Amino acid sequence: MKISINEFLKQNISLLRSDIILKLASDFTSHDFMKEFAKRFENDYKDFLNDYKENQHRVVHNQIARFISTNEIELKISKTPRVMSVNVYGRKNKIQGWKKD
Q: What is the pLDDT of residue 30?
A: 94
pLDDT tens, residue by residue, 12-33: 999 999 999 999 999 999 999 9
Q: What is the pLDDT of residue 88?
A: 78
- Percentage of the chain beyond pLDDT 90 is 90
CA distance 82 to 41: 26
The one-letter amino acid at 13: I
CA distance 81 to 16: 22
Average of per-residue pLDDT across 73-87: 94
